Structure 1
Amino acid sequence: MPKTILIVDDDVELCALMKDFFAQQGFHTECAYDGHAGLLRALEGKFDLVILDAMLPVLDGFEVLRRLRKQSAIPVIMLTARTAQRDRIEGLDAGADDYLPKPFGPEELAARVRAVLRRLGKAETLRPDVMESGGLKLDARAREVRCLGRPVDLTSVEFDILELLMRASGRIVSRDELAVVLHQRRSTPYERSLDVHISHLRKKLESAQQRNGSSDSERKPLIRTVRGMGYLFSI
């Protein structure tokens, strides 16, 4: 299956050229032409890598990267016409995996893309597909959840929320992090859809515990609300 790349650059002609070139290299590419649109697209979760220009309208590339890194570990290669060392340092400190000054040769960019994806592939081998805690087992590859061996029927969004909470390994996950699962830019006090999904997920997990014969004393809430901070999966 071809890797999918998001190109975020306001140079429409350059985007078209890169898209054609990467298609010849066996990649699928999509484009966004300003920082805000690029950030939203990058957070969709369907891309394997982002090529991000530093000088973007609406939201510059450095700010896009800083916001992206709060919510995603997707690999990013930054492009810029600015060659000052401080700009390269700023990009790398913001979380870029690689940094390429303009103008550049498409072959070099493609080589850097392949190198970053190779490094990612090695790291992914260390990322567990199966997680277990408190009688709950989540298989990320099969997208399956079981409680004491019995399947738990979750919606796609509920599964994604549970996976994010379990991968956090006891860390509090903010509402903004979880809002990404709902393809929102940022949660607000008036946005209740996240609360609804969390409520449904809790009820399904509690029901699964009851069906499997857990007593009231044995059952504990698997998802805790930490007021003013977010949610915590109880390990």
Structure 2
Amino acid sequence: MGERILIIEDEAAIADALLYALGSEGFEVHWCALAHDGLQWLQQQPVDFVVLDVGLPDISGFELCRQIRQFSSVPVMFLTARKEEVDRIVGLEIGADDYVVKPFSPREISARVRAILRRARPSPDIPQASASSSAFLHDPQRRRIRYRDHWLDLTRYEYLILSTLLKHPEHVMSRSQLMDSAWEDPAASFDRAVDTHIKGIRAKLKKITPNTDPIITHRGLGYSIDLQDGSSSR
């Protein structure tokens, strides 16, 4: 049985094309036309990936993604007719893993879904390792990071960016280097996406230690991380 894909899309023609393309790739695909039905399915069935239209008739895709992120870190790809950069940034800020503008090729969607699932899949031959610090513990086999005894609920891109910073403590990593580590096709992304995900990581760290920030911004250069204690605000 292949990985389980949930499509939440109100246009039947688009849904049919995706059902055929993803099904042909060996995925097990289910389609819901409304946000309410998709949310109910996701809460009751195991799902490996969600393809989510932004312009749903009952609840916007953005709002639905916010609700999904309250209980699940399943990868989410937005489909939208809106191509403005601000919409892409909003989508990334609320936890989306990819953002595709209509019209698109169903085969491209299949390739993107497969690439995201491949990168999200734990690598069995990477041993468990930890950052040499009392503040962070990195478990690459399970693709998770602990900060001050709290496991962080990170999106896929947040995890990849933070794990890259942890691999290079005290080193300034440029946005290009962080994009190379996190994106299957860095050329398809944009610099502000890195800033957006850094903002998301910081927000999750600050929920644990509101007065500290271990991520350091180097203006015009990139970011670094302080593994020792992150004792000063930045």
Normalised by the length of structure 1, the TM-score is 0.51
Name the aligned partner's letter for residue 46 of structure 1.
P
Inter-partner Cα distance in structure 2 for 1:2 and 1:66: 27
Tell me which residue corresponds to 2:82: 82
2:60 maps to 1:60: yes
For 1:122, what is the secondary structure of its paired residue? coil
In the TM superposition, residue 124 of structure 1 has moved relative to its aligned partner by 9.0
Deviations 1:179-216 (A, max 9, x none): xxxxxxxxxxxxxxxxxxxxxxxxxxxxxxxxxxxxxx
Inter-partner Cα distance in structure 2 for 1:79 and 1:123: 29
Matches of residues 165-204 of structure 1 in structure 2 within 5 Å? none
2:89 maps to 1:69: no
Contact kept, 8 Å, 2:11 with 2:33, in 1: the verdict is yes
For 2:44, what is the secondary structure of its paired residue? coil
Aligned-residue CA RMSD in angstroms? 2.2
Contact kept, 8 Å, 2:69 with 2:95, in 1: the verdict is yes
Residue ranges of structure 2 left out of the alignment (5+ in a row): 129-148, 152-234
In the TM superposition, residue 17 of structure 1 has moved relative to its aligned partner by 1.8
Tell me which residue corresponds to 2:230: none
In the TM superposition, residue 122 of structure 1 has moved relative to its aligned partner by 2.7
2:75 maps to 1:95: no
Deviations 1:48-102 (A, max 9, x none): 1000000001111000000110110011111100011111111111100111111
Deviations 1:22-56 (A, max 9, x none): 11111110001111111222222411100000000
Tell me which residue corresponds to 1:115: 115
The runs of at least 4 aligned residues of structure 1 exceeding 3 Å deviation read 123-126
Tell me which residue corresponds to 2:26: 26
Tell me which residue corresponds to 1:214: none
Residue ranges of structure 1 left out of the alignment (5+ in a row): 129-168, 172-235
Tell me which residue corresponds to 1:2: 2
Name the aligned partner's letter for residue 22 of structure 1.
L
Identical residues among aligned pairs (%)? 39
In the TM superposition, residue 170 of structure 1 has moved relative to its aligned partner by 7.2
In the TM superposition, residue 107 of structure 1 has moved relative to its aligned partner by 1.6
Inter-partner Cα distance in structure 2 for 1:98 and 1:125: 27
Name the aligned partner's letter for residue 98 of structure 1.
D
Inter-partner Cα distance in structure 2 for 1:19 and 1:122: 26
Name the aligned partner's letter for residue 95 of structure 1.
G
Tell me which residue corresponds to 1:40: 40
Deviations 1:148-191 (A, max 9, x none): xxxxxxxxxxxxxxxxxxxxx779xxxxxxxxxxxxxxxxxxxx
Matches of residues 106-185 of structure 1 in structure 2 within 5 Å? 106-122=106-122
For 1:103, what is the secondary structure of its paired residue? coil
Inter-partner Cα distance in structure 2 for 1:124 and 1:112: 22
Contact kept, 8 Å, 2:17 with 2:106, in 1: the verdict is no
In the TM superposition, residue 120 of structure 1 has moved relative to its aligned partner by 1.3
Inter-partner Cα distance in structure 1 for 2:125 and 2:66: 26
Name the aligned partner's letter for residue 108 of structure 1.
E
